[in-house]
Amino acid sequence: MKIRAFSIPLALVVASPLLAQQTPQQLADAELPSLLAIYKDLHAHPELSGHEEKSAAFIAKELKAVGCEVTEKVGKYDKPNLTSYGVVGVMKNGAGPTILVRTDLDGLPVTEESGVPYASKDKTTNDEGKEVGVMHACGHDIHMSTFIGTARLLAKLKDQWKGTIVFVGQPAEEIGIGARAMLKDGLYTRWPKPDFAVGLHDSAQIEAGKIGVTEGFTYANVDSVDVTVPGVGGHGAYPHKTKDPVVLAADMITAWQTIASRENNPVDPVVVTVGSIHAGTKHNIISDEVKMQLTVRTYKADVRERVLAAIERIAKGCATAAGMPPDRMPTVKVRQDEFTPATYNNPELTKRIFGVLQKAIGNNNVEKSDATMGGEDFSEYSLLPDYSVPACMFNVGGVDPKKFAESQKAGAAPLPSLHSSKFAPVPEPTIRTGLIGMTSVVLDLMKK
Ligand SMILES: [Zn+2]
Ligand SMILES: [Zn+2]
C-alpha cells in the first residue's frame, strides 16, 4: 500500500511539467497550415521597396493578435514624399533581456517565372513611372511568414522566457534604406534598446530543412558609385580631332581590376563590378560622355575607404594619361545615402546560436556557411562603427533537396540564385525550420 500511495503522486510530479512544457517543434506543426496559407498569399502579392503598405498592415495585424503593442509607419527616409512602412511590435513578459527580432517586407521588380501555382502575376509602377512585374525573389515572404509564426509561438511559450521582444517589420531592405530610417525615427530610444538583435535570411544555396551559420563578417559593405567620364566628341572617322571617352572608360574598367589584384591585401575581399555603362547614339559619332554605375564590395571599413579612393585616383589618372584637360576630369560620386554596411555576426552570440540550432533541428542540419559579398542592412541594428549591439543573422535553406542533389552533379546547371525570376523556395520545410530555429534561439537568449 505504501508503495502505491507513493508512486501515484511521484508520477504526477514527473508528468505535469512535461505536459506543461510545450516545445517549439510541437507548436510549429500546429501553426504550419496557417503559415503556409499566409506565405502563399504574401508570395502572390509582393510590394516594391518603399511601397509595403499592405504587407506592413498585415504584419501589424498579426502582431496585435498575439498581444504586442504595435506602432505603424515607423521610419524617416531622407527622400521627402516617401512613407516608411516600418512596424514595431513589443511583447512584454516581465523583467529580463530585450531581444530584437527582424523581418523585412519588400519584393523586387522582377517578373516571376518560378512556375509555382501561387506565383505573383502582379504588376506595378516603379518610381521611374515604368510598369514592372513584382516578385518576392529574395524570399522576404518566407521571412514574414516565419516571423509571424515566431511571434505566435513565443506568445504561447511565455512560461519559458522573460523580458521584452521587439518585433521589427522593416521596409526597403532591397534599396538599403529601411533599417537606417527606423533607427533615425527612434527605434532604440522610443522603444527598448536590444541586448541582442537576431534575424534570418532564406538561402538559395542550402537545402530546405537545414540552416547555415557564419561567424564574423557574413555580408559585405555595399557602395554604389556613379562615374561620369567627359570626352570631346566628334566624327568617328576623325578620332585625332576628339578625345574619345569610350576608350578612356575601357581603360578605367581594366585598371580598376588591379585594385583587387595588385593594391589590396589578398586576404581582404574586394569586388569592383561595373554593372552599367552607357555612351553614344550611333556608329560613327564619338560620344561626349560615358556614364558608368559600379557596385563596390568590401568588409573592413579601412579597406572600403582605400578602394573608393583608388577608384577615383585611377579614373583621374587614366584621364590625365589620355591628355584630358583639368576641366574635363571624370567625376566619381559615391552614393552615401545608399550605403549598406557589412553585416557582422558577433562571434560569441553566433557560437551560442549555432549550439541552440543544433539542439533544435539536429546536429546534421546545421552547417557553417561561407561569408558572401552580398549585402543586408540588418547590419544597421548592430550600430556602427563598433557593432556594439551583438547581432546574428543565420541562413535558412530553401532549396528542394532533390534539386539540390541534382545541382551537385558534375556539369549540372547552377541553382537559381536569390533575385532570380526562377527562385522558388519550398515553403515546407523551409518555414518550419526557420520557425523552430528562430523560436528556439529567442527562448534560449531569454530563458527563465
Ligand atoms: Zn535581396
Ligand atoms: Zn533579402
Task: Yes or no: say if 78 and 145 are a contact pair by the CB < 8 Å rule.
Answer: no
Give the C-alpha separation, 298 to 260, whole Å. 10
Strand-pair category, 216-219 with 343-345: antiparallel
Task: Yes or no: say if 185 and 75 are a contact pair by the CB < 8 Å rule.
Answer: yes
Closest ligand by atom to 420 CA: 1
Q: Is the dihedral of CA 233, 238, 241, 244 positive or negative?
A: positive
Q: What's the gap in Å between 138 CA and the centre of ligand 1?
A: 4
Q: What's the gap in Å between 102 CA and the centre of ligand 2?
A: 12
Residue 227: beta bridge partners? 292, 332
Q: What's the gap in Å between 292 CA and the centre of ligand 2?
A: 25
Residues classed as catalytic? 104, 174
SS3 67: coil
Per-residue cell: 140? 522576404
Q: Is 387 left (phi over 0), alpha (psi -120 to 50) or beta?
A: left
Question: Which H helix or E strand runs over 103?
Answer: strand 98-104
Give the C-alpha separation, 76 to 81, whole Å. 10
Q: What's the gap in Å between 5 CA and the centre of ligand 1?
A: 63
Closest ligand by atom to 108 CA: 1
CA distances to 29, 201, 440 from 431, in Å: 11, 11, 14
Task: Yes or no: say if 274 and 268 are a contact pair by the CB < 8 Å rule.
Answer: no
Give the C-alpha separation, 236 to 294, whole Å. 27
Give the C-alpha separation, 228 to 332, whole Å. 7
Q: What's the gap in Å between 176 CA and the centre of ligand 2?
A: 10
Give the C-alpha separation, 289 to 296, whole Å. 22
Q: What's the gap in Å between 377 CA and the centre of ligand 2?
A: 9
Q: Which residues surround ligand 1, an ion (CB under 5 A)?
A: 138
Task: Yes or no: say if 425 and 144 are a contact pair by the CB < 8 Å rule.
Answer: no
Closest ligand by atom to 104 CA: 2
Instruction: Check residue 4 and give its pLDDT.
Output: 46
Closest ligand by atom to 418 CA: 1
Task: Yes or no: say if 335 and 225 are a contact pair by the CB < 8 Å rule.
Answer: yes
Q: What's the gap in Å between 230 CA and the centre of ligand 1?
A: 33
**Chain centre to alpha carbon of residue 368:** 18
Instruction: Check residue 199 and give its pLDDT.
Output: 98
Q: What's the gap in Å between 418 CA and the centre of ligand 1?
A: 7
Instruction: Check residue 9 and give its pLDDT.
Output: 46
Instruction: Check residue 6 and give its pLDDT.
Output: 45
Instruction: Check residue 21 and give its pLDDT.
Output: 83
Residue 277, Cβ density class (10 Å: 0-12 exposed, 13-18 middle, ≥19 buried): middle
Closest ligand by atom to 102 CA: 2
pLDDT values of the chain reduced to their tens digit, one per residue, 448 residues: 444 444 444 444 444 455 568 999 999 999 999 999 999 999 999 999 999 999 999 999 999 999 999 999 999 999 888 999 999 999 999 999 999 999 999 999 999 999 999 999 999 998 889 999 999 999 999 999 999 999 999 999 999 999 999 999 999 999 999 999 999 999 999 999 999 999 999 999 999 999 999 999 999 999 999 999 999 999 999 999 999 999 999 999 999 999 999 999 999 999 999 999 999 999 999 999 999 999 999 999 999 999 999 999 999 999 999 999 999 999 999 999 889 999 999 999 999 999 999 999 999 999 999 999 999 999 999 998 899 999 999 999 999 999 999 999 999 999 999 999 999 999 999 999 999 999 999 999 999 8
Instruction: Check residue 18 and give its pLDDT.
Output: 52
